[in-house]
Chain A
Amino acid sequence: MIPILLRQLRWRIAALALAGFLFYMNDPALHEHPAESPGDVAELLEPFGISFTIANLVTLGMVVMLAGFIATDRRRGYYRLAFSHPTRPLAFYGLRWVLSLAVAMLAGAFFWLFAQLAAWGEVRVGPAFLLQALLLAVVYGGLTAFFSALVPRGDGFLAVILFFLTDLWLSLVQESPVLPFTPGVRAAISFVLPPHSAVSDVYNALLSGGLAPGAAAYALGYGLFWLVLAGLLVKYREWP
């Protein structure tokens, strides 16, 4: 089944590769060197640059790989013939989700190695920094799966909107202490939105050579919560 799924996903994988290339080109520090530009901008690149670029790439990768994966089957009726064969829908979509995570993380790992070698000619940022990407992949993979099981279309779009809304909300909270919300409402909104702060905490802990297990577990739990809800919807919701 896995080779067949990968074959079906080949255009999405190509889109992810293109996204990786654009991410690479978007950051001059990754590809401009002393011979090409005054001052070695690559030296300005910190682990932050690599780590967050990879995290964004993997997050986008999850959305690209998963967009519509349940919703389209439901809306267009592809499930009818597929699930007349001895297959559990939950196992089928579960495999597809895990495969998407693997592809997205592989893309992230490739970028992690290639970007450092291109920028510095050596590996300065350890593989532990991929944890941040993994957490965001689970968070947005869980959210996309939930939306895909719930709505007929626009699941990936909703996940992307949520990503930017969360960043916007966090910047508002940090920069505008006079937001028209009580601290309780602020906390509730921050709790419901994807845990970008927790992922940042994990990054900061990695930077200082430690680990933030609480923050990592929270982010992981957030993603798994939506993933389990998606699973329940697949299992118990009637097909159209």
Chain B
Amino acid sequence: MIRFTDVVKEFAGPLARARGGPVRALDGVTLEVPPGTALGIVGPNGAGKSTLIRLLLGYIRPTRGRVEVHGMAPRGYVETHGVAYVSELVAIPPSWTTRGALDAYAALSEVEHARARVGEVMERMEIAELAERRVGYLSKGNLQRLAMAQALLAPRGVMVLDEPTSGLDPEWIARLRSVVAEWRAEDPARTVLIASHNLDELERTADRVAVLQGGRVHELLDLRAAEGVNPPYRLEVEDTPGAVKAVHEIFPGALPEEGAPWAFRVDARSPREVSARLAALLARGVVVRALAPQRLSLEERVRGAGR
């Protein structure tokens, strides 16, 4: 369990004081990430995403409040268990080779059979052919894959990904998703925290999404929960005589879509009721082109958060 309790973080160096006071990056954040779940963090630049992650890794301490990882202070947890972490800016000494970097991280983790494990993760992330290439000469995408490879070196209970798809091509974005899914599947208690601007990716990976704004949790969206008891449906029918009249009779309150006279937004109390009404519609000779629940995308939900 990762727990942020009323966390405030202010940056108050001498320069901040000279500029007129400390900068409050987080302002009373309370969040819980239960074991076995994935939490996405979204928000505009400066919302506090990176600060939240730095607190979680123990690189900085909260000004007020409490951060716990499985009941321990973050730094204590990281120093004893480690965290599978991919940072937003992947910083690895450019003179190191790909293999040299992984050897060094494996040594820090005291990975058993390090040589073999390094080979495995290089194969997994398809960077084996870059083993002897210096990090300074890697493309951004390859650097990101190297960062992911080092995160997979040892078994961990917590994964923290900060903009993990940055620089990756669409194929690798999809493969990264499967890597994370496999990592989670290996141990159902594993916890993931992902900060990303790629909302489509978050929608596929995270169970819940915290929308940060101005250092506060503006809204917590549960992506796996049913979206309301009765989601609206989109119904599209063929342009046949009497079709529109039949739709209005069978689905009272059906709203025609703007610019698409044969498409409607219809409501029903349950999937069973939708099925019954659809059967009635078909019995009236209406040709149905499509019927699908209308779910708001994460982007629409984030945009609408707090309204």
A interface list, Cβ under 8 A from B = 1, 4, 7-8, 76-88, 92, 238-239
Contacts and interface: CB of A to CB of B under 8 A. Distances in A.
Interface string B75-95: 000111111110101111100
A86 B82 contact: yes
A1 B78 CA distance: 19
B108 A1 contact: yes
Contacts of A82: 104-105, 108
B96 to A, nearest CB: 7
B283 to A, nearest CB: 62
Contact of A85 (B61, B91, B92, B108): B108
Query: Is the interface on chain B under 10, 10 to 19, 20 to 34, or 35 or more residues?
Result: 20 to 34
A86 B80 contact: yes
B138 interface: no
A79 B93 CA distance: 10
A79 B110 CA distance: 17
B79 A80 contact: no
B85 A86 contact: no
Interface string B110-127: 100000000000000000
User: For A76, A80, A81, A85, which residue has the most chain B Cβ atoms within 10 angstroms?
Assistant: A85
Interface of B: 54, 57, 59-61, 78-85, 87, 89-93, 96, 100, 103-105, 107-110, 147, 150-151, 153-154, 160
Contact of A84 (B83, B100, B104): B83
B91 A76 contact: yes
A83 B93 CA distance: 14
Contact of B54 (A1, A88, A239): A239
Given A84-B83, A87-B79, A78 B107 contact: no
A49 B150 CA distance: 50
Nearest to B108: A85
Nearest to B82: A86
A196 B59 CA distance: 38
A81 B110 contact: no
Contact of A4 (B60, B89, B91, B104): B104
Given A86-B109, A86-B110, A78 B93 contact: yes
User: For A76, A87, A92, which residue has the most chain B Cβ atoms within 10 angstroms?
Assistant: A87
A7 B97 CA distance: 12
Contact of A80 (B61, B87, B96, B103): B87
Contacts of B109: 85-87
Contacts of B107: 1, 4
B91 A78 contact: yes
Contacts of A7: 100
Contacts of B89: 77, 80
